[in-house]
Structure 1
Amino acid sequence: MTQRNDAALEFLLSRRSRPAKTLVAPVPTRAELLPLLTAAARTPDHGKLEPWRFVVIQGAAMPRLADLAVQAGERLGKSGDDIAKARSQFDLGHLAVAVVEVQKPSPKVPAIEQSYSAGAVCLALVNAALAAGWGANWLSGWASHDRHFCQQAFGLADNERIAGFIHIATQGATPPERPRPDLSDLTTWMQE
């Protein structure tokens, strides 16, 4: 057994994402963001493939992405509400990290495990940001799954896709606690 870390366990038991729309400036500096990215990059990656990479979005990139989301929504025939919601995450955003899943050929590591690893990076980055005292939220949405938007916005290669946008900034308001899952409904204990 390794050394117990009660502070880390207490953090995990009480962690709570902060809604992206409640995040305000200031945002982490590059020097403050690098340790968070480093922590996220320690995620298990099933064979040391590193099937993900980071794109830090801030400044003028936010309104550019908001405009591209509108164009994508119009091209796809999305409703006005869907377009407004996709646009708002960039209009309201101050800093976000796009976690890009990078599928790599591997005879040992199936594609699904690479996807799991990219998802784990998203959660690790949210948790690192929260642990460092920032507000953070993991968003995706229809635009993140639209190939044309992703290629136009981020220049993604054919083997890449967005796993999530991790918004990181200062917490503007404390969100109310939400109901948590009932473990008795979700857990099966196998003894034999």
Structure 2
Amino acid sequence: MDVLLSRASTDRLQDPAPDRAQLEQILATALRAPDHGRLQPWRYVIVQGEARSILAENVVASTLRVAPQTPQFNLDKRRQRMATMPMTIVLGMHLHPEHKIPLWEQEMSVAAGAMNILNALHALGFGGIWVSGPITQDPVLAAQFGFEAPHRLAGFVFVGTPDNPLPAPTRPDPAGFMAVWDGTPPVFGQDRNHAP
């Protein structure tokens, strides 16, 4: 429980990234995600080394396709970030739109796998962050990673070793996010605290 409760996302990452054996162990946890219908929608593309600069240029090109007015400063920042992360795991969704299992359930399985990756990274002493944005909807970028329609991108997990110890994450009290149901629609404490 301490490992799960101490996890926090970070993009302040440096070498080393997980080695091959550690990466396989991390991805094995992703494959333990709930999977209604046993469709196995998880796909992972690992980007390291010189391929990082290709990733960066593809992401910048995608950004210009989906948001042509993006300021140069933002493009440069995105290029630098993508090109310097020790490792990036591209999250793919291998989807079956014709299947009786709804697409949203297939997508949730991919998301659950991504959360398992973040937890496993933390448990092994690494760090990570899951990033997404409008470029995940770009079919050209998705196809560059082998995810042609109907398959899609779910984002990118940056992976490495945190450059400093992570501060203890501050999280809200779980009591505000739960309610005991008595047959009537519940009111959550969190919603009362943030009512307009």
Per the TM superposition, whether the score is higher than 0.5 is yes
Corresponding residue number in structure 1 for 2:79 = 87
Q: Contact 2:17–2:159 (CA<8 Å) still a contact in 1?
A: yes
Equivalent residue, structure 1, for 2:57: 67
Query: Kindly tell me: are residues 80 and 175 of structure 1, through their superposed partners in 2, closer, same or farther at Cα, counting changes over 3 Å?
Result: farther
Q: Deviations over 1:1-59 (max 9, x none)?
A: xxxxxxxx222222222x22x10011111122111111111111112111121111111
Matches of 1:187 and 1:81, distance apart in 2: 42
Tell which deviates more after alignment, 167-176 or 78-87.
78-87
Alignment CA distance shift 1:191-1:98 (3 Å) = same
Deviation at 1:63, TM superposition (A): 0.4
How far did residue 107 of structure 1 move? Answer: 4.3
- Where 2:60 maps in the other structure, the secondary structure is helix
| Aligned-residue offset at 1:181 | 2.8
Match of 1:102 in 2: 94
User: In the aligned structure 1, how far is the partner of 2:181 from the partner of 2:147?
Assistant: 43
Per the alignment, residue 162 of structure 1 pairs with: 153
Aligned partners of 1:107, 1:166: CA distance in 2, in Å?
28
Cα 1:88–1:45 shift into 2, 3 Å: farther
Over 3 Å counting, the alpha-carbon distance change for 1:16 and 1:111 in structure 2 is same
Match of 1:35 in 2: 25
3-state secondary structure, aligned to 1:117: helix
Aligned-pair CA distance for 1:178: 4.5
Partner-residue secondary structure (3-state), 2:159: strand
RMSD: 1.9
Runs of 5+ in structure 1 lacking a partner? 1-8
8 Å contact 1:122–1:164 — kept in the other structure? no
Identity of aligned residues (%): 33
**C-alpha separation in 2, matches of 1:63 and 1:176:** 30
Distance 1:88 1:145, change over 3 A: farther
> Are the equivalent residues in 2 in contact too, given 1:86–1:141 (CA < 8 A)?
no
- Separation of aligned partners in 2, 1:168 and 1:70: 20
Q: How does 1:37-186 map to 2 (within 5 A)?
A: 37-75=27-65, 76-77=67-68, 78-105=70-97, 107-151=99-143, 153-186=144-177
- Extract unaligned runs of 5+ from structure 2: 184-196
Task: Name 1:4's counterpart in structure 2.
Answer: none
Q: Structure 2 CA distance, aligned partners of 1:150 and 1:95?
A: 18
